[in-house]
Structure 1
Amino acid sequence: MKKIIILFILFVSLTTYAQVLVINEFDPDSPSTDTAEFIELKSATPNFSTDGYILVFFNGSSSGADSSYMVIDLDGYTTDNNGLLVIGSEGVSPFPQVLISENVIQNGADALGVYQASVNDFPEGTLATQTNLIDAMVYGTNDADDTDLLTLLGETIQYNDNGTNANPRSIQRFVDGMDNESYSTATPTPRRENDGSGIPINPVFISVAESQYDEGESFDITFISETNVTSDLNFTISLNNFGFNTSDFTGNLSLMIPNGQNTTSTTISIVDDSADEGDEVLLIKFVDLIEPIVPSNNFVEVRIVDNDFTIAAWGTPLNPTTGIVQSTQPEGYYDSLDGLADVALRQALQDIIADPTIVRAQTYADVIDILNEADQNPENSNQVWLLYTEEGRAKLDIQTGSSNAGKWNREHTYPRSRGGFFDIEEDEIADGIDVFWTTKADSLRHGNSDAHALRAADAAENSSRGNQHYGQYTGPSGTLGSFRGDVARSVLYMEIRYNGLEVVNGFPEVTGQFGDLATLLDWHRNDPPDDFEMNRNNVVYNWQKNRNPFIDQPLLVEYIWGNNVGDTWDQSLSIDDNEFSEITMYPNPTNGRLYILGLNNVELVEVFSVEGKLLRTFTAVNNYIDLDITSGLYLVKLTHNNRSIIKKVIKD
């Protein structure tokens, strides 16, 4: 009789899990920001190696065409004591065995499939197929059935995730008897059997009071198990992460939760060294937990703020300086422009900055590294300077997830949708300065990653700006507009650099056209290049091997779009202007009296608001003027011998 029972149980087990590996639970939309989405696979036997299996995701939208958009290689992973393997993002608790980024799973109507195959069998855009398919699920969030996707995968039912932010739900598989397999929605149970059976797990939670500490500070890390442990729990943690290692802190990393208790803690002291390492992030992670003890959370980040940052010799755009940073353009870089005018001048300029034998295109991911250097805050080397909001932001606060609060990202001054740029899969790889694409004037796609027209910007403000034309968008209220000349020169650069782009008057709705030219010319004239802009021009040149000529030679703008269109360009005019720009005004900021050094008997001095409104006029100025105006940022224009220069001045 005992043999018969054993054989019956074995028969039921083999029948129920004949697929070897099945989709046991799936949460594609929890919560609405998708920070806790996950897939749970179940094997017919516990501790099952998933080598040779892959997880493929299919996009059921009209643009997705029921084809693959993501593949996860399951090589090297093993299901747990209950036969479960959770693939999810960091917001999932207990912590997934396979970690993926947030917000990467489509909400539906879409599908996923478990295949016994290679990732190479499913390049992006592969039509859904039953070949080598082990298990599949077509799902949605109350979407209409994708009948084509159901047919392609041999499924008959499309399952819905009916969760909300307040009441999350996942699609869960249940098996009742030999042949009855069903799915329903219920509260998510990652890494636990859907029916509450199986070997109980005891997750341990990592807790830290703050997410950021300064060098020299100490803090506690507390560990709390869900239930009291039934024997002494000894475990080890690590804090290492890239450059942060054991030389950067002191503290005990070998810990114990005593029998019958559920908590322990350790104190970590951060070493205050004298090295300028930049801000770093330590990563609290478990090293050796053994089931049924599992991480509740893991890879907990704590930022360590370096107090040894450096300050540049030049100012921010709010407190600009000139003449400190010299152009790194090669000798004779612009010589081919001399004696040319109008269309010929445009073409010669494009031949320089789009020369396919010299100029390089980097990936969109590389742009993050470029901006960390090019847009570095002169007042703090651990920060980038944000374009529109006129402030520093920690380099580590680059937006990587769905939330943009307090983050910065890459802003296209010439919006992608206006220019018709796009990225490709290779754009997601930061492969460094020595790996690049050949590019030319017709390579419009490369406008997507051209760092001359990409700036670090507050992520929320970038979203607010959207794809508005300049003139429609003038910056956040309460700021001084220190970005205006910078964006004007970057947008004008794009017209010359890429065929198919044009800067025009007004606010056009034609792809390839961008406005407003009159506004941009005004911004260029009233906010001339400064050391910050020259430094970023030098940095971008080091990566792309081309320069923004309107930073090096700002008068070129007048010969191509402005008051000198049709006149013959003579580079010597620009050289004279550079000599003229050596004039300095001090002190800056000033309490009122502003001295002029480098030129006597200036014919005309005009003081403008940053919006371009003329406020004061002085004639026949010897060596100083008195600014009887309120505190703020102003533009001071000096005119002498038919030449003029504009300087930014702050009145305290």
Structure 2
Amino acid sequence: MKRIILIALLLISGFGWSQVLLINEIDPDSPSTDTAEFIELKSQSPNFSTDGYILVFFNGSSSGGDKSYMVIDLNGYTTDINGLLVVGSTGVSPFPQLLIAQNVIQNGADAVGIYQASINDFPEGTLATQTNLIDALVYDTNDSDDTGLMALLGQTEQYNDNGTNANPKSIQRYVDAMDNITFAAATPTPRRENDGSGIVINPITISVAQSQYGEDAMFDITFTIETAPTSDLNFNISLDNYGFNTSDFTGNTSLTFSNGQNSVTTTITLVDDTFDEGDEVAKIRFLDLVEPIVASNDYVEVRIVDNDFTVAPFGTPVNPTTGIVQSTQPDGYYDSTNGLADVALRQALQDIIADPTIVRAQTYADILAILNEADQNPANSNQVWLLYTEQGRAKLDVQTGSNNTDKWNREHTFPRSLGGFFDIEEDEVADGIDVYWETKADSLRHGNSDAHALRAADATENSTRNNQHYGEYNGPTGTLGSFKGDVARSVLYMEIRYNGLSVVNGFPNVSGQMGDLATLLDWHRNDPPDDFEMNRNNIVYNWQKNRNPFIDQPLMVEYIWGTNVGDVWMQSLGTAENELGEVLVYPNPTNGRIFISQLNTAADVEVYSIEGKLLKHFNAIEDYIDLDVASGIYLLNITTGNKTTIKKVIVN
């Protein structure tokens, strides 16, 4: 390149080909869900190694302060036959050479820079700098200019994406015949020269009719090439992904486009084995495409639903059972609470469940593993049970990106914004059951990852609940309310476990306070613990080495918040003295008639709605009763003498 041209380039853009690697195109907002955002780099020569270079993204918002929010290491990558390297998510077509998650490139006013440096040189929150800077671009999506960010990066212009959902655009670099460099917004062209020049690539698209198949199914994978080859084109694919491999299917994975042929299909037959492996995901990907043949899409996922799931011996929360799952509390676990009342009882209970020499805190990332076990759907071991929507959902459908449709995520029963919880960088690492933090009653931060107060929930419904107090939020319409006692005991546990939290009447707007206490007490009384909740308590105890006492000893709630405040607590009050033994109510669900067995004498039976309204009262029952109520879920309060038990019944 002649010196006069190089000088012109430097004057116009600030960076020239002497830096060998440039920002060629960026699409930070395409479409509004950001599933196809990308950045494209260009090297002066094709097949250029980007070892030693990094991409640094800067947040130009007032809260971002022109500091870095993401760094991408370019070590191990090379540009293609046109000198292009696309960094983007799986929604970009043709497929990027370097994959990143969706919706991580901010829309602007922001910036991105190429540095000849190490990722260790740019910890999160590093102020934009020109040190070791190779090229930079300040951009926006119809935002005001960030003059401070431009000055920090030595730029004189900010470029506007200016796209819409109907007409997505990217910011593209152009060089005219005089080697003048300009930028303009135009239809995105990932992996293709912006001006249409260069070697023409030929993408292949992977197509599958469905995204989910049963374990015993057959399905076709069709491959379509943009331009039919003029000679036979051979390529290989793989479906392997973690536990899913060639033992799980049969079918041809070595394929050929014949001369002049635009498509080829292979049929995959899934192996119906007898192993409960859980649902798996086949990931269809190309193994050996040679440029200019490239992937239009890649890593196409197909859910394989395992038909060998197991069913627990106990019921779901909407078809509950009791007495099957026994508490795994150690002998004498609650003995120190005997003979105490009021504040002393609270303190003794906290000393048990917040004992810093025993109790453990796990990371927020570990919660996903805990929920997969603790909230497993009793009717299908490949699913979690969703708290508010009262349904099972595949464990694989956990939310990992911005899309929350038909996904599940972690719901704080005591919302973070009300409790003042927060996480730290180490919380992003799932390091397993044997790695943990010491924790105590003052460790309020650990409330963020306390599994007793986290549940699997439909992601959309979780957003609907947001940070509402219970009583403000009463669950989706049309559900049975099977979650109500569970969340009540969960929230009450949090008040005892952590200093700084309290449950009060009403709907307070005070940090650390949550309501409504009266509602939660009502929910606790009318939806007593069942086997699902006891099993959950046992599993969380295995991880955290503490229990929710109000599942093991539900009557204790009355001695701390309810009708027995100030009375002396004895563990026997929560068991034999006040509760009936193994009374059985069947069939359940029922069409109306229920039988009550293992009564030693006649019993009185009160029938309540799930909201706690008394509907009917039967005296001196010895065998069965006809409920004569509409379809729904009901609570039976069965009393003999001074002993009582509550059973949940579903009427079809």
Give the shorter-chain TM-score range: over 0.9
Task: Report the equivalent of 1:336.
Answer: 336
Number of residue equivalences: 648
Aligned in 2, Cα 1:11/1:237: closer, same or farther, shift over 3 Å? farther
Q: Which stretch of the first structure deviates more once superposed, 101-110 or 87-96?
A: 101-110
Which blocks of at least 5 consecutive residues in structure 2 are unaligned?
A: none
Q: CA deviation at 1:177?
A: 4.7
- Is 1:467 aligned to 2:457, yes or no? no
- When the two chains are superposed, the root-mean-square deviation of aligned CA atoms in Å is 1.9
**Could you tell me which amino acid in structure 1 is paired with residue 542 of structure 2?**
N
Q: Tell me how far apart the structure 2 counterparts of residues 581 and 566 of structure 1 sit (CA, whole Å).
A: 28
Task: Report the equivalent of 1:450.
Answer: 450
Q: Tell me how far apart the structure 2 counterparts of residues 84 and 465 of structure 1 sit (CA, whole Å).
A: 45
Q: String of CA shifts for 1:536-591, please: whole Å, max 9, x gaps.
A: 11111111111111101111111111111111111122231686252221221223
Q: Which stretch of the first structure deviates more once superposed, 539-548 or 642-651?
A: 642-651
Q: CA deviation at 1:640?
A: 2.9
CA contact (8 A) 1:600 1:621 kept: no
CA contact (8 A) 1:12 1:178 kept: no
Q: CA deviation at 1:629?
A: 1.3
Task: Report the equivalent of 1:509.
Answer: 509
Residues 140-539 of structure 1: matches in 2 within 5 Å? 140-177=140-177, 180-539=180-539
Q: Please give the TM-score of this superposition, normalised by the length of structure 1.
A: 0.96
Which blocks of at least 5 consecutive residues in structure 1 are unaligned?
A: none
Q: Tell me how far apart the structure 2 counterparts of residues 391 and 468 of structure 1 sit (CA, whole Å).
A: 22
Q: CA deviation at 1:600?
A: 3.1
- Is 1:38 aligned to 2:42, yes or no? no
Task: Report the equivalent of 1:615.
Answer: 615
Structure 1 stretches of 4+ moved >6 Å:
5-15
Task: Report the equivalent of 1:544.
Answer: 544
Report the secondary structure of 2:576's partner residue.
helix
- Is 1:131 aligned to 2:146, yes or no? no
Aligned in 2, Cα 1:610/1:269: closer, same or farther, shift over 3 Å? same
Q: CA deviation at 1:283?
A: 0.3
Q: String of CA shifts for 1:590-621, please: whole Å, max 9, x gaps.
A: 23232222323345311001011111011222
Q: Please give the TM-score of this superposition, normalised by the length of structure 2.
A: 0.96
Q: Tell me how far apart the structure 2 counterparts of residues 641 and 503 of structure 1 sit (CA, whole Å).
A: 34
Q: Tell me how far apart the structure 2 counterparts of residues 392 and 578 of structure 1 sit (CA, whole Å).
A: 35
Task: Report the equivalent of 2:599.
Answer: 599
Q: CA deviation at 1:172?
A: 0.6
Q: Which stretch of the first structure deviates more once superposed, 299-308 or 421-430?
A: 421-430
Task: Report the equivalent of 1:25.
Answer: 25
Task: Report the equivalent of 1:629.
Answer: 629
CA contact (8 A) 2:199 2:292 kept: yes
Q: CA deviation at 1:626?
A: 2.0
Q: Tell me how far apart the structure 2 counterparts of residues 220 and 410 of structure 1 sit (CA, whole Å).
A: 36
Q: CA deviation at 1:488?
A: 0.4
CA contact (8 A) 1:601 1:623 kept: no
Report the secondary structure of 1:522's partner residue.
helix
CA contact (8 A) 2:579 2:645 kept: no
Report the secondary structure of 1:78's partner residue.
coil
Q: CA deviation at 1:67?
A: 1.2
Report the secondary structure of 2:535's partner residue.
helix
CA contact (8 A) 2:25 2:41 kept: yes
- Is 1:97 aligned to 2:97, yes or no? yes
Q: CA deviation at 1:427?
A: 1.9
CA contact (8 A) 1:16 1:178 kept: no
Q: Tell me how far apart the structure 1 counterparts of residues 151 and 641 of structure 2 sit (CA, whole Å).
A: 80
Report the secondary structure of 1:314's partner residue.
coil
CA contact (8 A) 2:8 2:180 kept: no
Q: Tell me how far apart the structure 2 counterparts of residues 427 and 33 of structure 1 sit (CA, whole Å).
A: 27
Q: Which stretch of the first structure deviates more once superposed, 397-406 or 50-59?
A: 397-406
**Could you tell me which amino acid in structure 1 is paired with residue 598 of structure 2?**
G
Task: Report the equivalent of 1:86.
Answer: 86
Aligned in 2, Cα 1:274/1:481: closer, same or farther, shift over 3 Å? same
Task: Report the equivalent of 2:568.
Answer: 568
Report the secondary structure of 2:469's partner residue.
coil
Report the secondary structure of 1:608's partner residue.
strand
Aligned in 2, Cα 1:602/1:175: closer, same or farther, shift over 3 Å? farther
- Is 1:118 aligned to 2:83, yes or no? no
CA contact (8 A) 1:534 1:551 kept: yes
Q: CA deviation at 1:643?
A: 3.6
Q: String of CA shifts for 1:31-64, please: whole Å, max 9, x gaps.
A: 1111001010111111011111111111122222
Q: String of CA shifts for 1:474-533, please: whole Å, max 9, x gaps.
A: 111111101100010011111111111111100111121111000000000000000000
Q: Tell me how far apart the structure 2 counterparts of residues 464 and 279 of structure 1 sit (CA, whole Å).
A: 28
**Could you tell me which amino acid in structure 2 is paired with residue 509 of structure 1?**
N
Q: CA deviation at 1:272?
A: 0.4
